[in-house]
Chain A
Amino acid sequence: MDAENLAQDVPSSIQHVVVMCDGTPGGDNALRLANAISQSTGASVRAVTWLPVGYALDGDAPIENFLASVTRQLYRVTTMVGFWRLELLTGHIDHRLAQLCSQEAAALLILPSGGAESLASRWTLMTGIPVACVGGKTAHCGEQVILCTRADARSQRHAHLMAAIVTAAHTMNRTSADRYARRPCPYVQVQTVPMLSAYFVGAHSSSNNLSLTAS
């Protein structure tokens, strides 16, 4: 995959969003944000998941049970689950995710908090699109989104566009009284990830090698 050309394929508008769904409370925040963006912009959402490292594959229908838990989360959190598609990624996750984002012409990838932060910078380099990592609520800042983006001009422009949309979607969902309260921290923080070839080498070499046959 040509890293320099990745940004050229990033759509200039937001039509499709990919969100990682993992069944955890952190995943709820990511799904809520994806839901808000979808409702505000009309973008379609593709939910993806994969078996966590170390997931026990013994027992009765472990994959089906995992997918059932993720599906329950989708139904619980979102209002448009009928229009979403959930896909279980297998094999080299980094490669599959980049491939999926490219196929879907995704403009934004949303990750939950809890271990995914370290992946955000890697995946923005891999996919060429901004990666939003939804952090949990803290006493100081409340919920916050870290938007990782590449350093090239096109990616920066796209990230600023996404930052405005993410914040506007969040603003719309706030109560009117809360809307005008000055937040101590901005809801979205844009972090630029330097273009280092080592990231790509590392991303490929550290891919999840778990290979599954979804049956």
Chain B
Amino acid sequence: MNVGVFLDTDYMKSRIWDLHTHDIMPLCSSFFPLPFHPAMQSQPADQIVSHTLDDADRPILVATDGHLHADAAFIAAAFLAGRVGANVRVFSVVERSAPSCREHNRTAASRHDISELRKPCRTQEKMREDIDTRRAGVATQVALTVGESADWPITVRGGPLDQTSEDIVTQSHAQLLVIGQCLARRLDAQPGACHGTHVLMRRAIPIYIAAPTLRGIARRVVIAMDFSMAGVRAAHIACHLSAADASVYLVHVLPKASAQDLDDRRCRLQGIERSLRGGADVRVESILLLGDAAQELLGFADGIQADLIACGTSSLPLLPGTRPYAPVPGRVTRDLIRQASCSMLIAPHLSDRQRDSLS
């Protein structure tokens, strides 16, 4: 299993996440896969069985710039790798300035172009120097958090952040990405339409957001269940990544519901609960809550001092006639990322093409 860690830096910003689902599709093909098949859309949740392939040879990818905030992600990666028996790889990208900047004609440049020209132009030598500096910084961070003996390979490349990161991730066939909590929140605070959580939702690779409060492998896990495919997938992945004796709380929140609705949701929760118990030794308990989804989940997680909150990012229904309850999962996921004090696991929705590749 492979883990990736992203740190928040100015140069990274939201661009590191700006990869397209179809570009990283090969990454999702064997990471904690469920047996996705078009016919599965109508398959009851309790009949979904997690089929974990032999991921031992697939590395965990960690992306970093050597910043201290990524320590929690590195430590989480070590424990997750120990849990599932995976290798860990580290990568960092030194962003390359636009190569054409030296070729601009100042006299002919517009006001906008002139502002671009003021950005520092980096030569190849400068880039190599930056790469060496970054490599040394990352090596120091690895040594201070998990030790040099861990022997985690470090890859540092220069180039456009998104494309270079995409290339590295694709080549690594990573099955899990671990990022620091600071980055996730910083991405989410970016102005414009490209919110971090929106970008996260496009990821086909599960993402583990390590909080500074990390105490090790998760023993108390809250699964925010919306009955989506991604939500069920998140539940199975969370169980796989948590301690063998973990307590898992399968939580479904409704804004309001009739007695019939509650019975219906309870039955569905129990179905998923059975499927989780079948695949692991964890203790699973189903919880139904009424109110705002994000606030109730956060309150519940704080109340039990949860180590991990797991959720999916899909808004697609799993069962015929089942629709995601309000508020929409995207908002809930964003709120959880913004406000959760514990670590988070986000399982992405898989596109039809991704499911086909698994089937």
Binding site for B on A (CB under 8 A): 11-15, 39-42, 44, 147, 157, 159-169, 171-172, 179-180, 182-183, 186-190
A104, B242: Cα distance in complex, Å: 20
B145 near A169 with CB under 8 A, answer no
A164 near B147 with CB under 8 A, answer yes
A42 near B245 with CB under 8 A, answer yes
Q: Can you report 5 residue pairs joining A to B where beta carbons are below 8 Å apart?
A: A42-B243, A159-B149, A165-B82, A168-B75, A180-B68
Q: Which residues of B contact A183 (CB under 8 A)?
A: 144
A161, B146: Cα distance in complex, Å: 10
Distance in angstroms from B56 CB to nearest chain A CB is: 6
Known: A186-B143, A186-B149. A168 touches B245 (CB 8 A): no
A41, B84: Cα distance in complex, Å: 11
A14 near B147 with CB under 8 A, answer no
Q: Nearest 3 A-B pairs (CB), nearest first?
A: A42-B243, A12-B85, A40-B216
A41, B214: Cα distance in complex, Å: 12
Count residues on chain B whose CB falls below 8 Å from chain A CBs: 35
Q: Which of B84-114 contact A (CB under 8 A)?
A: 84-85, 87-88
Contact among A15, A171, A182, A190 with B146 in the assembled complex (CB-CB below 8 Å): A171
A12, B57: Cα distance in complex, Å: 11
Q: Which residues of B contact A41 (CB under 8 A)?
A: 79, 82-83, 216-217, 243
B85 near A165 with CB under 8 A, answer no
Q: Residues 315-327 of chain B: 1 if any A CB is under 8 Å from the residue's CB, otherwise 0? A: 0000000000000
A190 near B149 with CB under 8 A, answer yes
Residue of B nearest to A36 (CB): B216
Distance in angstroms from B114 CB to nearest chain A CB is: 42
Contact among B56, B146, B215, B217 with A164 in the assembled complex (CB-CB below 8 Å): B146
A75, B114: Cα distance in complex, Å: 70
Contact among B74, B144, B214 with A180 in the assembled complex (CB-CB below 8 Å): B144
A180, B69: Cα distance in complex, Å: 11
| B78, B151, B217: most-surrounded residue (chain A CB, <10 A) | B78
Q: Which residues of B contact A172 (CB under 8 A)?
A: 75, 214-216
B85 near A13 with CB under 8 A, answer yes
Distance in angstroms from B343 CB to nearest chain A CB is: 13
Q: Which residues of B contact A164 (CB under 8 A)?
A: 78, 81-82, 88, 146-147, 149-150, 152
Q: Which residues of B contact A157 (CB under 8 A)?
A: 87
Q: Residues 129-148 of chain B: 1 if any A CB is under 8 Å from the residue's CB, otherwise 0? A: 00000000000100111111
B246 contacts A by Cβ under 8 Å:
yes
A104, B99: Cα distance in complex, Å: 59
Distance in angstroms from A192 CB to nearest chain B CB is: 11
Q: Which residues of B contact A180 (CB under 8 A)?
A: 68, 144
B244 near A186 with CB under 8 A, answer no
Q: Which residues of A contact B56 (CB under 8 A)?
A: 12
A40 near B145 with CB under 8 A, answer no
Q: Which residues of B contact A167 (CB under 8 A)?
A: 78, 145-147, 149-150
Q: Which residues of B contact A12 (CB under 8 A)?
A: 56, 85
Contact among B144, B215, B242 with A39 in the assembled complex (CB-CB below 8 Å): B215
A171 near B144 with CB under 8 A, answer yes
B65 contacts A by Cβ under 8 Å:
no
B273 contacts A by Cβ under 8 Å:
no
A171 near B75 with CB under 8 A, answer yes
Distance in angstroms from B58 CB to nearest chain A CB is: 12
Apart from A40-B216, A164-B149, what are 15 other A-B pairs with CB-CB below 8 Å? A39-B215, A40-B215, A41-B216, A161-B81, A163-B150, A164-B81, A164-B147, A167-B150, A168-B75, A172-B216, A182-B140, A183-B144, A186-B148, A189-B149, A190-B149
